[in-house]
Amino acid sequence: MSELTRLTGVGPKRLKALESSGIRTLRDLVYYLPRRYVDRTRITPISSLQEGMDAFLAVDIDSATVIGTRLVVQVSDDTGSLELVFFRGLHYLKQALSPGKRISIAGPVTHFRVFQIVHPEWEELAEGQDARGGILPVYPMTEDMEEARVDHKLLQRLALETLEKFTFSDPLTPEERTYLGGLHSEISVLKILHNPSTLTEVGEAMQEIKLRELWPLCLKRAIAKRDRIGKGRVFPAQPEAEKVVRTALPFNLTQGQEQVLGQIGEALERKAQFAGLLQGDVGSGKTAVVLLAALRVLAAGAQTALLVPTEILALQHFRTVAPLLEKAGFTAALLTASTSNEERSSMLEGLKNGSVSLIVGTHALFSPDVLFKELRFIIIDEQHRFGVEQRAAMTAKGIEPHVLFLSATPIPRTLAQSIYGDLEMITLAEKPPGRLPIKTRLVPADKQADMLEFLKKEVEVGNQIYWVVPRITASSVPVKVPPEKGSDQEEVAAVESTFKRLRAAGKWRVEAVHGRMSSVDREKALSAFRSGECRVLVATTVIEVGVDVPAANIIVVEGADRFGLAQLHQLRGRTGRGQAQAWCFLLLPKDGIPEETLERLREFASTEDGFKIAELDLRSRGAGSLDGTQQSGFGVLRYTDFLEDLELINGLGGKAGEWLDKL
């Protein structure tokens, strides 16, 4: 029996409506907070309505007519008339809102030929009753609630009744409440929110609710941070090994790389387990930096694991890193799902006895039989591709390991701090020298033939092209195949049709890669592309993460409107690594795209600054679009918004640390 039935007026029907809206306990109920409030202290005459205002009115009902799927209710006062429009609950509303009745209504005013309010809050007024009252809370309403006649008034009454009748133990101690700035008790703050006397009061109370939501999370982070102190092995610089590898590198490190390497080095020298996030725009040269940092660990006889999200990337890293390490006398190994059993078992042996110093691997590294002699350093590339548990599983294989996350999706510093508050932030801003800006162009459907001619000429003079087709989600295409296979098969089909089209279009060798290929075939295609034998590579976004072929200086993105900007930035970052002018062509669909999307793509085309693009992306999609948000360890926040409440989150992070010190 649900505890909610202990409240007056909650029968089976309402109970069901509440439960289906996520309210299962009394606690859920009191935390089901109003979405907004209507100030009923002043009545607005219809004649002074303005579009966009949140109005409160007292009116007479003149007519109520169902037109198609809408119910249109004509109302008036002494000064004019107004339309109310409803899309849900028509049946009930048609009866309840019968002509001749007097009602009070509230809601945002829109103008569509005439003034309208869509789904206003309303209440019937008795003969001669003054409509005015206090502040009315407006709760999020679901269709189930409307059907069960659970309205704002009822939700308010139930919440207040609960807060009167039952006791809740406040998760915050009185000391914590004082420390956090003299917060109300939990019950008082909830009472304010369900029944405020002024709107100012609401703002303050809401701030307290956010604090209450964030505090335990910030404490958890602060504890994790504190727990790392005094742990982890100290790794001093290893100048000799470093010199060997630096000499073997085909370039000198940039100032930026040197600085970042210095920061990581310092962190490895501290008597504390290091947990850091290296943010560096795509192509900024993070690999060389982490390799040099790892040398400290290897030369001291301990091991390093480099975890990457795709096989392609693993292989590429392995190919870069292994020969360099060999020169310095260390053995690297590569473990992926396609590693043969034989190789795998000898590799596992090598990891256990310590003869393998560094392992590059994909998810294959999580397997329980992958065990290390002394794993002390874990580098997680493209960190957002891994879940919290996966990262934890990896860490569990080490001995108080230092962990460095790599991210190529830069985000503004304050935001990074709020999302990754427990990590030390290291930023690689500069890019290797001598790179020309990438020219980005939007290509409407009728200009694609021209582009193709241009591409052919470019290929003749030695250029190479990535041609990306979007991942098609099952919902965006008519389902012709069983849904569980849908997206994948559609994607393969898209790759194949583009592949055929391009092969027919010119005298060039075209290869294709997609997620459904065997790794042998994929590697064949990629190595033909890498060597330049093949000039055009058709691919899904499998190439998005980290593929590095400097001679490929052109990227074409089909259905560019379907990608997020951060992802486009990653894709574009595949080019611009060689000496030649790089191009990025964003193909637009035939049937036109919303102006807003077009504007977004134009802005993208005008900048290569990863931080700026991240901000654009955030603005258009909200913080929820950030892969990192879910991975912040904060989970889904109900009352707090990562973007709007940045200052609050960051401030509280600091306070949590100080609080622990005081205990």
With both helix axes pointing from N to C terminus, report the angle between 519-531 and 311-327 in degrees, rounded to the nearest 10.
60
Q: Which does 577 bind (CB under 5 to 8 A by kind): Mg ion, ligand ADP, none?
A: ligand ADP
Of positions 191, 221, 286, 569, contacts ligand ADP by CB under 6 A? 286
Q: Is 283 in the site for ligand ADP (CB under 6 A)?
A: yes
Q: Toward ligand ADP, which CB reaches closer, 93 or 378?
A: 378
Q: Which does 285 bind (CB under 5 to 8 A by kind): Mg ion, ligand ADP, none?
A: ligand ADP
Q: Toward Mg ion, which CB reaches closer, 376 or 577?
A: 577
In the complex, least distance from residue 463 CB atom to ligand ADP, rounded to whole angstroms: 17
In the complex, least distance from residue 548 CB atom to Mg ion, rounded to whole angstroms: 8
Q: Give the residues lining the site for Mg ion (CB under 5 A).
A: 546
Q: Which residue has the tokens 């600085």?
A: 259
In the complex, least distance from residue 294 CB atom to ligand ADP, rounded to whole angstroms: 13
In the complex, least distance from residue 617 CB atom to ligand ADP, rounded to whole angstroms: 18
Report the C-alpha gap between 118 and 35 in whole angstroms: 16
The strand pairing partners of 275, in sequence order, are 403
Q: Toward Mg ion, which CB reaches closer, 407 or 498?
A: 407
Q: Toward Mg ion, which CB reaches closer, 159 or 555?
A: 555
39 to 131, 312, 368: CA distances (angstroms):
12, 59, 60
Q: Which residue's Cβ lies closest to Mg ion?
A: 546
R_g of the chain computed on alpha carbons: 31
Q: Is 284 in the site for ligand ADP (CB under 6 A)?
A: yes
Among left, alpha and beta (phi > 0; psi -120 to 50; other), residue 462 is: left
Q: Toward ligand ADP, which CB reaches closer, 261 or 282?
A: 282
Residue 46 neighbours by CB under 8 Å, 6+ apart: 57, 59, 76, 77, 79, 80, 81, 82, 115
Q: Is 253 in the site for ligand ADP (CB under 6 A)?
A: yes
633 to 39, 211, 422, 629: CA distances (angstroms):
38, 17, 10, 8
In the complex, least distance from residue 5 CB atom to ligand ADP, rounded to whole angstroms: 58
Other beta carbons within 10 Å of 150: 24
In the complex, least distance from residue 280 CB atom to Mg ion, rounded to whole angstroms: 8
In the complex, least distance from residue 292 CB atom to ligand ADP, rounded to whole angstroms: 11
Range in contact with ligand ADP (rule: CB under 6 A) among 36-44, 106-114, 190-198, 286-294:
286-294
Report the C-alpha gap between 29 and 34 in whole angstroms: 11
Of positions 34, 232, 280, 309, contacts ligand ADP by CB under 6 A? 280
Of positions 408, 438, 534, 601, contacts ligand ADP by CB under 6 A? 408
Q: Toward Mg ion, which CB reaches closer, 290 or 370?
A: 290
Q: Which does 559 bind (CB under 5 to 8 A by kind): ligand ADP, Mg ion, none?
A: none
**Rounded to 5 degrees, what angle do the CA atoms 414, 417, 422 make?**
170
The strand pairing partners of 510, in sequence order, are 536
Q: Is 225 in the site for ligand ADP (CB under 6 A)?
A: no
Are 320 and 392 in contact by the 8 Å Cβ rule? The answer is no
In the complex, least distance from residue 577 CB atom to ligand ADP, rounded to whole angstroms: 5
Q: Is 432 in the site for ligand ADP (CB under 6 A)?
A: yes
Of positions 46, 275, 282, 312, contacts ligand ADP by CB under 6 A? 282
In the complex, least distance from residue 280 CB atom to ligand ADP, rounded to whole angstroms: 5
Q: Toward Mg ion, which CB reaches closer, 287 or 498?
A: 287
Q: Which does 550 bind (CB under 5 to 8 A by kind): Mg ion, ligand ADP, none?
A: ligand ADP
**Rounded to 5 degrees, what angle do the CA atoms 282, 288, 294 make?**
125
Q: Is 89 in the site for ligand ADP (CB under 6 A)?
A: no
Q: Which does 304 bind (CB under 5 to 8 A by kind): ligand ADP, Mg ion, none?
A: none
Q: Count the helices and strands in the chain (H runs, E runs).
A: 23, 21
Q: Toward ligand ADP, which CB reaches closer, 410 or 470?
A: 410
Q: Which residue has the tokens 């790089």?
A: 582
In the complex, least distance from residue 283 CB atom to Mg ion, rounded to whole angstroms: 8
β-pairing verdict for 464-468 and 80-86: unpaired
Largest pairwise CA distance in the chain? 94
Q: Is 360 in the site for ligand ADP (CB under 6 A)?
A: no
Are 557 and 584 in contact by the 8 Å Cβ rule? The answer is yes
What are the DSSP calls for 531-556, one per residue?
Answer: HTS--EEEE-GGGTTT---TTEEEEE
Report the C-alpha gap between 118 and 121 in whole angstroms: 9
Are 623 and 629 in contact by the 8 Å Cβ rule? The answer is yes
Q: Toward ligand ADP, which CB reaches closer, 21 or 257?
A: 257
In the complex, least distance from residue 286 CB atom to Mg ion, rounded to whole angstroms: 5
Q: Toward Mg ion, which CB reaches closer, 60 or 548?
A: 548
Q: Which does 45 bind (CB under 5 to 8 A by kind): Mg ion, ligand ADP, none?
A: none
Q: Toward ligand ADP, which CB reaches closer, 58 or 408?
A: 408
- Helical (H) or strand (E) element with 586: strand 583-587
- Using DSSP, state whether 511 is helix, strand or coil: strand
Q: Please name which of 381, 358, 27, 339 lies closest in space to residue 171, comparing C-alpha atoms.
A: 27
Range in contact with ligand ADP (rule: CB under 6 A) among 51-59, 246-254, 581-589, 608-616:
246-254
One symbol per residue from 551 to 580: x for binding ligand ADP (CB under 6 A), - otherwise; what is it? Answer: --------------------------x---
In the complex, least distance from residue 553 CB atom to ligand ADP, rounded to whole angstroms: 13
Report the C-alpha gap between 442 and 593 in whole angstroms: 12
One symbol per residue from 509 to 548: x for binding ligand ADP (CB under 6 A), - otherwise; what is it? Answer: -------------------------------------x-x
Q: If you count them, how many residues does the chain have?
A: 663
Range in contact with ligand ADP (rule: CB under 6 A) among 161-169, 276-284, 477-485, 594-602:
276-284
Q: Toward ligand ADP, which CB reaches closer, 196 or 576?
A: 576
Are 292 and 239 in contact by the 8 Å Cβ rule? The answer is no
Q: Is 254 in the site for ligand ADP (CB under 6 A)?
A: yes
- Using DSSP, state whether 453 is helix, strand or coil: helix
Q: Is 287 in the site for ligand ADP (CB under 6 A)?
A: yes
Q: Is 288 in the site for ligand ADP (CB under 6 A)?
A: yes
In the complex, least distance from residue 307 CB atom to ligand ADP, rounded to whole angstroms: 14
What are the DSSP calls for 182-247, one per residue?
Answer: SPPPHHHHHHHHHS-SSHHHHHHHHHHHHHHHHHHHHHHHHHHHHHTBT-S------HHHHHHHHH
Q: Toward ligand ADP, which CB reaches closer, 31 or 386?
A: 386
Report the C-alpha gap between 491 and 541 in whole angstroms: 10
Chain residues that interact with ligand ADP, rule: CB under 6 A? 251, 253-254, 257, 280, 282-288, 408, 432, 546, 548, 550, 577
